[in-house]
Structure 1
Amino acid sequence: MSLVKNVGTIGGLTAISRVFGFVRDMMLARVLGAGGVADAWQLAFQLPNIFRRLFAEGAFASAFVPLFNRRMKEEGELSEARRFAEDVLAFLVPVLIVFGAVALILMPWIAGLFANEGMDADPALFDHAVLMARITFPYLLFMSLATLCAAVLNSLSRFAAAAAAPILLNMCLLAALTWGAIQPDSETTRYATGFWLAVAVSASGLLQLLWLVFWMRRAGFRLSLKVPKITAGVKELGILVVPAVFGAGVYQIARFIDLFFLSTLPDGSYTYLAMADRWNQLPLGIIGIALGTAILPALSRFLSREEADEAARLQSNAIELAMLLTIPAAVALWITGSAFTRVFFVGGAFTLEDALITGTVVGGLVLGLPAYVLVKVLTPNFFARKDTRTPVLTAAASLVVTVAGNFLLVPSLGVLGLAVAGSIGAWCNVALLMAVLAKRGFFRLPGRIVGRIVRIGIASAIMGMALWMLMGPLDSWFSGSTIERMVAIGAVIAAGLASFALSAAALGVLDKQTIQRLRRRQA
């Protein structure tokens, strides 16, 4: 299957999930607003998600996939791979149960570390944040097991089911928000809505797990739960997972540090950063995660067969495709971020001032958007070689830069400083990953790709100038009636697409040869 087709499958379904996510956040803004219960909910939702990303998505998948692929070299012969997956499952379940139980007991202390001034001043609000966090925490157990199923499906080149699973999360949250939207607007309603949102999170985790188990069985792969035993395969996975956990841990430590700084900022800052990150996560999820997920199994197979040229070709194509999609997205969102937040979020409990602050934070986040995606694209080159240590070191170095940026920028820029510091750290991580790959002779960016990226940047700058010229005349429309908002944002999108397409065509960013190369089958 070609890189474009794999990324299209994963990215297309991720895009559907992100659309549901936008609707969810629009309702969330209107029902809960910013500050108070909204901030408490964002804290409760982030805690299990940070641990999920720490133990499941990044660390586990990056270590599991190469080992699983190595055991399924012979097409149609999956017995060895199945035994390995069952051994891992048997060990994973009790670890997750024990960790979850400890976290539930310690939740008041954990939440207390990151409570902002609004929660500190209102004991009832803090207690509700703890309750919501406890209710959401089983999501970690369900999604960690779901990650194992997704890793198996991706290794079998069945990408669709795993990419579609997050839609269930947004559907469950939308159901809770719909209930809140039809209730009388009051503080009691906001508290009750927060409770049902927490229930919806854990329920969605269970549904996603059942969904992936179903499709894994449809693919002819069944797992049985066995007595935990530390086999040779589990030991090998542990050796790879530990540094990968530290690597993912570096990023999650950065998230915890963000929570710490957020706790020092005014009420509403949790919500502003979370809402702004939705716009950053749209291209990051569709492009970065899709590319990283698609190329890891293929890179693992190329390297196991010592096909270094094919691995380098795949890596080059992934970088080119990533930059083609993210540089124009970053430029567009940097210029028009406040327009989008005003059009889609203002209403109900979410004010125009809230939207303008959120739009400013969007601009800070998207400065690092291409870098966040490149990290997703470059790290599989290390994971496929069973090197989970190097990304740890580069991520640790970028964390130092990010924390230093936080101390320098947050006092003067507030929540915007967090966004800018994270973007700077992400670019440092990219520079280090590229330097290590080149030094070890694993990969060097071809001059042909460098030239094409430069042309993508020029085309994006031309598009940016066109959008900047539109922002002034349309400014009042972004906060006007529903029809005015839709017309204004439609004009922005149309102008952006047209100006980039025309400038990209004039500069030769995309030609027939490039499209054929990106569509070429991976294996």
Structure 2
Amino acid sequence: MSWLRASSVVASATLASRLLGFLRDVLMAQALGAGVAADAFLVALKIPNLLRRLFAEGAFGAAFVPLFSQVHSMEGEQAARAFASRAFTILGVLLTLLTGLALLAMPLVITVLAPGFDLADPRHDLAVELARRTFSYALFVSLTALLAGVLNVLGRFAVASLAPVILNLVMIGALLTGGDDPVAQARLLALALPVAGVLQLAMLWLACRRAGMAVSLRPDLRDRHLRPLGRRILPGLAGAGIYQVNVVIVTIMATALAPGAVSFLYFADRLAQLPLGLIGVAISTALLPIVARRIAEGRLEAARALRDQAAEVALLLTLPAAAGLTALALPIVRILFERGAFDALDAAATASALQAFALGLPAAVLVRILAASLFARGDMRTPLVGASVALVVTLLVGLATLRPLGHLGLAVAASLANWANLTVLAWRLRGIEGRAFSRRTKLRALGALACAVFAGSMAHQAFTELHHIGRLTGLASAILVGGLAFFAMVTVVRVVRPRELVALFRDRA
């Protein structure tokens, strides 16, 4: 399967999940609003999500997939199954111990993560209660992510990418069956998470079994591949940890603002994460096992060419998405969220944060691609340095802009941190290979940027002239106008030729 086709499979599954996620967020905004219950639940939700990204999708996933790919291709299925089972066992034991400790120390955890929630603040005790309910989700979803890595190496991307659909369905069910009390609804949502985690784990375990790679608990941990896995995890864990600390720091600073700031940033980030998930995550997910295999086979030039292709396609999709989110932020937020407890002022505040997040989207997507290339080489240290620089940028810019700009300054800090991270990764690859991207890729990026700016201005103008016919119809028309303008421009100036994309889609990795 070609990397572009694999990316398309992941993107399609991710789109289904994100659409359900938006429905979930629309229902959640209506049920919880942007007050005490919403702030407490979103802080509690960040804790298991932090551990999921830290252990599984972060360091563990990045270290495990290249090694598993190497063992599978060179030593066969039996050795690969034993290695995966032992890694599964280690991750399970570590997270079980961590879950027990966290449940005991949750009041302290909430105090650290949300210092703005003091003991007199009703959000504090509610956040502690909700976090205790949600925390076990981290255990189940982290084990699920490891099984997803196994399936991706086997070329079975669809099942792994569809796992988040279960979470969204379970949460939507909880929202539809809940009452009118926001606090009671938040408690029910918190219980939905561990239920969804168990269902996700069961689905992927069955998929691995059907693929002939039944992963099980192995008390025998003697495996020569576990030592290099541990060596890769340590710097990767630090890098992923710093990145996630960066995310948490934004939340911590937001809790010091007026109620609602956490929610504004959350809903804006959810919208910005859609193109990042459909493009950056999808491409990097497909890229990692394929690049790892090419490097293991000594095909370094082929690996570099693959990275260039991925960057060009990613920017061709991300730049117009970022321009569209910037130009149409307010109507998008109003149509999706402005109802119930979420009013016009909440929509305006969320839209401004969305515009700031959109400016960092191209960098965030390229960071995913460059990090996948470095992980495939076994280089876990450079992403650590990049994440560290991003953390410093977030702190400095966030603190400098917190008072004058409020939550908007935090969104700007997050975008600038993405660009700083990208600079570090590109500099390192240039030192290793002589370049991070080819000259052709850079020229195409500049051409796509110019086309995206033009398309964004056309979309904004179209909505201004057509919104009187209805907000939804006007927004759909503006998106159509912007999309057609971008496609026409990139075709006329020959940023890309359609037949190139067709060839990439058919090419086998």
Q: TM > 0.5 between the two?
A: yes
Q: How many residue pairs are counted as aligned between the two chains? A: 509
Contact 2:331 2:471 in 1 (8 A): no
Task: Write out per-residue CA displacement over residues 95-132 of structure 1, whole angstroms, 9 at most, x where no aligned residue.
Answer: 11111100111111111223465765444x42222111
Contact 1:35 1:270 in 2 (8 A): no
Following the alignment from structure 2 to structure 1, what is the Cα–Cα distance between the partners of residues 464 and 426? 40
In the alignment, structure 2 segments of 5+ residues that lack a partner are none
Following the alignment from structure 1 to structure 2, what is the Cα–Cα distance between the partners of residues 326 and 392? 25
Distance 1:466 1:249, change over 3 A: same
Following the alignment from structure 1 to structure 2, what is the Cα–Cα distance between the partners of residues 416 and 230? 51
| 2:45 paired residue number | 45
Worse overlay, 284-293 or 499-508: 499-508
| 2:479 paired residue number | 493
Following the alignment from structure 2 to structure 1, what is the Cα–Cα distance between the partners of residues 131 and 220? 29
Contact 2:140 2:198 in 1 (8 A): yes
**Percentage identity across paired residues of the two chains:** 37
- Asked if 1:171 corresponds to 2:136, the answer is no
- The CA deviation at 1:90 is 2.1
Task: Write out per-residue CA displacement over residues 358-405 of structure 1, whole angstroms, 9 at most, x where no aligned residue.
Answer: 000000111100111111110111111111111111221122122111
> In angstroms, what is the RMSD of aligned CA positions?
1.7
For residues 322-471 of structure 1, the aligned pairs below 5 Å read: 322-441=314-433, 443-471=435-463
Distance 1:51 1:366, change over 3 A: same
Following the alignment from structure 2 to structure 1, what is the Cα–Cα distance between the partners of residues 488 and 377? 41
Distance 1:64 1:118, change over 3 A: closer
Contact 2:99 2:135 in 1 (8 A): yes
Among 498, 501, 506, the alignment partner of 2:492 is: 506
Task: Write out per-residue CA displacement over residues 382-440 of structure 1, whole angstroms, 9 at most, x where no aligned residue.
Answer: 11111111111122112212211111112211111111111111111111211111111
Amino acid of the structure 2 residue aligned with 1:458: A
- The CA deviation at 1:41 is 0.7
| 1:72 paired residue number | 72
Q: Secondary structure at the match of 1:232?
A: coil
Worse overlay, 244-253 or 500-509: 500-509
Contact 2:390 2:417 in 1 (8 A): yes
- The CA deviation at 1:35 is 1.4
Contact 1:143 1:209 in 2 (8 A): yes
Among 125, 128, 131, the alignment partner of 1:127 is: 125
| 1:9 paired residue number | 9
| 1:280 paired residue number | 272
- The CA deviation at 1:471 is 4.2
Q: Secondary structure at the match of 2:328?
A: helix
Amino acid of the structure 2 residue aligned with 1:103: A
For residues 161-200 of structure 1, the aligned pairs below 5 Å read: 161-180=159-178, 183=179, 185=180, 189-200=181-192
Q: Secondary structure at the match of 2:263?
A: helix
Instruction: Give the alignment's TM-score, normalised by structure 2.
Output: 0.97
Among 295, 299, 310, the alignment partner of 1:307 is: 299
Following the alignment from structure 1 to structure 2, what is the Cα–Cα distance between the partners of residues 109 and 163? 34
Following the alignment from structure 1 to structure 2, what is the Cα–Cα distance between the partners of residues 102 and 474? 56
- The CA deviation at 1:484 is 2.0
Q: Secondary structure at the match of 1:165?
A: helix
| 1:480 paired residue number | none
Distance 1:91 1:115, change over 3 A: closer
| 2:93 paired residue number | 94
In the alignment, structure 1 segments of 5+ residues that lack a partner are 478-482
- The CA deviation at 1:250 is 1.2
Task: Write out per-residue CA displacement over residues 463-499 of structure 1, whole angstroms, 9 at most, x where no aligned residue.
Answer: 1221232343456x5xxxxx82221221221111121
Following the alignment from structure 1 to structure 2, what is the Cα–Cα distance between the partners of residues 398 and 38? 28
Instruction: Give the alignment's TM-score, normalised by structure 1.
Output: 0.94
Task: Write out per-residue CA displacement over residues 132-187 of structure 1, whole angstroms, 9 at most, x where no aligned residue.
Answer: 1111001110011111110100010110011000011110110111113xx3x3xx
Contact 2:232 2:380 in 1 (8 A): yes
Among 181, 191, 199, the alignment partner of 1:207 is: 199
Following the alignment from structure 1 to structure 2, what is the Cα–Cα distance between the partners of residues 436 and 45? 34
